[in-house]
């Protein structure tokens, strides 16, 4: 093995492994997903959530402004009227149906911006994969956050 071969072939390999060996000692960037999960950035915009007031009432009033603002036209809202017997939100109006088609959503956050009550917010849950196209239409029940104990 001539000196040239050592210099051109073996030395770079050794040097390369050397870098790897040094990095092994440092903290790792990748995580063992799904066992380990990385902390999301504070302003990450992923899956929508319909929030509630502390009283448990829905913030959404079914005004459909999110649907109007949506550039992908992926939100469908059907409103109805609260009664004293059946009250979902504080005012007169609530969303009877609220659906977002996640296949069409581009996660731009305009809906959040348009919402007058802060009902729809984009949170950090990004695991939206599914098997059927129909399952990507998220209904109001899926989007509503649970009532806090």
Partner 1 sequence: MAAVANVPLVKVSINDVEIEVPKGELIVESVKRLGLEIPIFCYHPRMKPVGMCRMCLVEVGFKQQDGSVRKMPKPQAGCTLPASEGMVVYTDTEPIHADRRGVLEFLLINHPLDCPICDRGGECPLQNNTMAYGPSTSRFIELKRHLPKAFPLSTYVTLDLERCIQCGRCVRFTEEISGDHDLAFRFRGADMQPSTFQLTDFESKFSGNVIEICPVGALTSAKYRFRARPWDLETTPSVCTVCSNGCNVWFDHRAGKFVRINGRANEAVNEEWTCDKGKFGHEHYNAADRPTQPLVRQGDGFAPTSWSGAYDPVLAAFAEGGDRVAALVGPRVSNEALFLLRRLFERAFKSARVSSNWRRTPGSGSVQGTIADVESGGPVLVFGTSLADDLPIVHLRLRKGATNAGARVVNAFSRPTEVDRFAAVSLHYRPGSELALARGLHGLLAGTGATAEAVEAETGVPADRLREAVEVLKEGGTALSSQGLYDLSDGPQIVEALAGIARATGGRSECWATGANEQGAIELGLAGEGATATLQACAEGRVKALWLVAADPFALHPDRALVERALETVEFLVVQSPVGSEALAYASVVLPTALPAEQDGTYTNCERRVQRVQPAVPPPGDGKPDWRVFSECLLRALPETPLFNPREVMEAIAAEVPAFAGCRYEALGPEGTVLGGNLLDTPDEPAMVGGQA
Does 112 sit near partner 1 (CB under 8 A)? no
- Please tell me whether residue 9 adopts helix, strand or coil conformation: helix
* Alpha-carbon span 98 to 141, nearest angstrom: 8
Residue with structure tokens 């979902």? 88
Tokens representing 117?
Answer: 């009550």
The DSSP output letter for 113 is H
Does 64 sit near partner 1 (CB under 8 A)? yes
Does 137 sit near partner 1 (CB under 8 A)? no
Q: Please, what is the minimum distance in Å from the beta carbon of residue 144 to partner 1?
A: 19
Percent helix, strand, coil in the chain, to 5, is 30, 20, 55
Does 50 sit near partner 1 (CB under 8 A)? no
Of 8, 81, 125, 135, the residue at the interface with partner 1 (CB under 8 A) is: 81
Does 128 sit near partner 1 (CB under 8 A)? no
> Using CB under 8 A as the criterion, which residues of the chain lie in contact with partner 1 when the complex forms?
61-65, 67-68, 76-81, 91-93, 116-117
């Amino acid at each position: 093995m001539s000196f040239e071969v050592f210099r051109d072939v073996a030395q770079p390999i050794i040097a390369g492994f050397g870098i790897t060996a040094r990095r092994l000692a440092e903290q790792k960037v990748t995580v063992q997903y799904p066992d380990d999960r990385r902390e999301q950035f504070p302003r990450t915009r992923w899956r929508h959530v319909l929030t509630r007031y502390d009283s448990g009432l829905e913030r959404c009033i079914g005004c459909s402004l999110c649907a109007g603002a949506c550039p992908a036209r992926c939100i469908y809202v059907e409103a109805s009227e609260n009664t004293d017997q059946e009250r979902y939100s504080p005012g007169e109006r609530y969303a009877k149906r609220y659906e977002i088609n996640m296949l069409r959503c581009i996660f731009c956050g305009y809906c959040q911006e348009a919402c007058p009550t802060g009902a729809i917010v984009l949170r950090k849950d990004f695991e939206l994969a599914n098997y059927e196209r129909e399952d990507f239409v998220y209904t109001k029940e899926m989007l509503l956050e649970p009532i806090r104990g």
